[in-house]
Amino acid sequence: MPDFQNPAAFLLLLFIPALYLLRKTGFFSRLAFLLTISDWNGKSFEWKRTPRNFASMFSRVCTSLAFAIAVFALAEPVIYRQERIYTSRGTDVMFVIDVSPSMAAKDIGSVTRLEVAKKAVMELVNSNPGASFGVVAMGEDASIVIPPTVDKNIFMERLRSIQLGYLGNGTAIGTGLSTAVFHMVSSAAPKKCIVLITDGENNAGSIHPETAAELAFKNNITVYTLGVGSDGSVPIEYEDPVTGKSYAGFLDSTFDITALRSIAQIGGGRFFEIQSVGDFSLALSVIIKNQGVVQTYHSKTVNYEFYDKLILIAGILFAFGWFIRSVCLQEFV
> Cβ(87)–Cβ(297) under 8 Å?
yes
pLDDT for the residue numbered 261: 93
Instruction: Single out the residue of 169, 203, 273 nearest to residue 231, CA to CA.
Output: 273
Q: What stretch of H or E contains 157?
A: helix 152-160
Q: Yes or no: say if 130 and 86 are a contact pair by the CB < 8 Å rule.
A: yes
E strands, the chain, are: 3-4, 77-86, 92-98, 132-138, 142-149, 192-198, 221-228, 232-239, 246-253, 271-274, 297-305
Among the ranges given (137-141, 176-180, 273-277, 325-329), the one the predictor scored with the smallest mean pLDDT? 325-329
> What are the CA-CA distances from residue 311 to residues 69, 276, 319, 324 (Å)?
7, 46, 12, 20
CB 209 within 8 A of CB 263: yes
Q: How many residues does the chain have?
A: 333
* CA 43 to chain CA mean position, Å: 64
Residues 264, 225 contacting (CB under 8 angstroms): yes
Q: Judge whether residue 136 has pLDDT over 80.
A: yes
Q: Residue 13: what pLDDT?
A: 77
DSSP codes of every residue in 46-76: ----HHHHHHHHHHHHHHHHHHHHHHHHHT-
How high is the pLDDT of residue 17? Answer: 76
Q: Are 317 and 93 in contact (CB under 8 A)?
A: no
Q: What percent of the chain has pLDDT over 90?
A: 37
Handedness of CA 201, 203, 209, 210 (dihedral sign): positive
DSSP 136: E
CA distance 105 to 109: 10
Average pLDDT, the chain: 83
Per DSSP, the residues of 192-228 read EEEEEEESS---SSSS-HHHHHHHHHHTTEEEEEEEE
Residues 172-201: tens digit of each pLDDT: 999 999 999 999 999 989 999 999 999 888
Helix axes 173-182, 209-218, angle to 10 degrees: 20
260 neighbors 227 (Cβ within 8 angstroms): yes
Task: Decide which of 70 and 23 is more confident.
Answer: 70
What's the confidence (pLDDT) of residue 193? Answer: 96
Mean pLDDT of 236-253: 74
Whether 173 and 262 have beta carbons less than 8 Å apart is answered as no
Strands 77-86 and 3-4: antiparallel
The DSSP code for 166 is T
Kindly state the average pLDDT of the residues 194-222.
Answer: 92
Q: How confident is the model at residue 237 (pLDDT cuts 50, 70, 90)?
A: confident
In this predicted structure, the answer to whether residue 330 has a pLDDT above a threshold of 80 is no
Q: CB of 223 within 8 A of CB of 264?
A: yes
**Nearest 5°: CA angle at 79, between 76 and 83?**
145
Of 108-117, 164-173, 258-267, 312-321, which has the strongest mean pLDDT? 258-267
pLDDT of 37 strictly over 60: no
Instruction: Give mean pLDDT, residues 158-179.
Output: 92
Better-predicted residue by pLDDT, 77 or 141: 141
- For residue 125, is pLDDT > 90? yes
